[in-house]
Amino acid sequence: MKTLKQYQDEQSHALRSAQDIMDKAEKEDRRPNAEEVTEINDQVAIADEAARQIVETEKFLAAKTKTEERLQALETPLARKTVPAQPTTGLEPTSKDKRKVYRYGKLRADWGDTRQEAEENAYRSGMWIQANFFGNMRAARWCENNGVGESRALGETVNTAGGNLVPDEFAAAVIKLREDYGIFRRFTRVLPMGSDHIFI
């Protein structure tokens, strides 16, 4: 395969040869004869083919350069974009900052005794749902940093019988909602038990 320089030299040589033939005929103050016209046409065809090869070679070299740059970018390790942690003396969040909840709209469910507690419990439960059901990494990190754990909500030992793993704040709300709106509990006779067993 010829190089780009070789194609450029070939084109230049062919055009020079055709020009020399025309200059020779002009010096002799005559028109080029049939043999010279054929030679000129052949040289112009060679120059045209060389020009086409130049364009093809330039495209190939551009694609090759682009590919090499991409490969080099893949092989080059990425620069570290994180900034080293600075000492945080005096910057620890206060308990007031930790409890701050950002909420949009009106809270409609009963999540706690006071409004602040209800908002905090709803927010913590929402973050837990985002982390565990939707795979939100930011919410998972928030749950880990703020101690949102899991506990059995309905007191059952089998998951299919209602023992779901939920955060503590959510567990109280689920139990209360189950007692208020659950169909089974409304239509049964509830016997307070002094121990784990009862004899009827």
Q: Which of 42, 75, 108 is the last residue of a domain?
A: 75
Does 134 share its domain with 180?
yes
Nearest-angstrom CA–CA distance, 150 and 108: 24
Domain count across the chain: 2
Is 80 exceeded by the pLDDT of residue 135?
Answer: yes
In a domain, 39, yes or no: yes
Number of alpha carbons in the 13 Å side-chain half-sphere of residue 198: 6
Does 13 share its domain with 71?
yes
Q: Which of 163-187 are b and which e, b meaning 16 or more Cβ less than 10 Å from the residue's Cβ?
A: eeebbbbbbbbbeeeeeeeeeeeee
In a domain, 147, yes or no: yes
In a domain, 197, yes or no: no
Does 108 share its domain with 179?
yes
In a domain, 161, yes or no: yes
In a domain, 178, yes or no: yes
Does 46 share its domain with 103?
no
More confident residue, 113 or 17: 17
Range of the domain at 114: 98-186
- For residue 117, which of 79, 173, 61, 64 has the smallest C-alpha distance? 173
pLDDT, position 74: 80
Q: pLDDT of 147-161, one tens digit each?
A: 776 654 445 555 555
Does 37 share its domain with 103?
no
Does 175 share its domain with 105?
yes
Beta strands at 151-152 and 165-166: parallel, antiparallel or unpaired = antiparallel
pLDDT, position 119: 76
In a domain, 195, yes or no: no
In a domain, 165, yes or no: yes
Does 67 share its domain with 137?
no
Nearest-angstrom CA–CA distance, 97 and 82: 25
Does 117 share its domain with 160?
yes
In a domain, 171, yes or no: yes
Band of residue 165 on the pLDDT scale cut at 50, 70, 90: low
Integer angstrom CA distances of residue 138 from 74, 85, 112, 135, 145: 28, 19, 25, 9, 11
Does 112 share its domain with 181?
yes
Q: pLDDT of 29-70, one tens digit each?
A: 888 888 988 998 999 999 999 999 999 999 999 999 999 988
Task: Please tell me the pTM assigned to this model.
Answer: 0.36
Does 105 share its domain with 70?
no
Does 132 share its domain with 66?
no
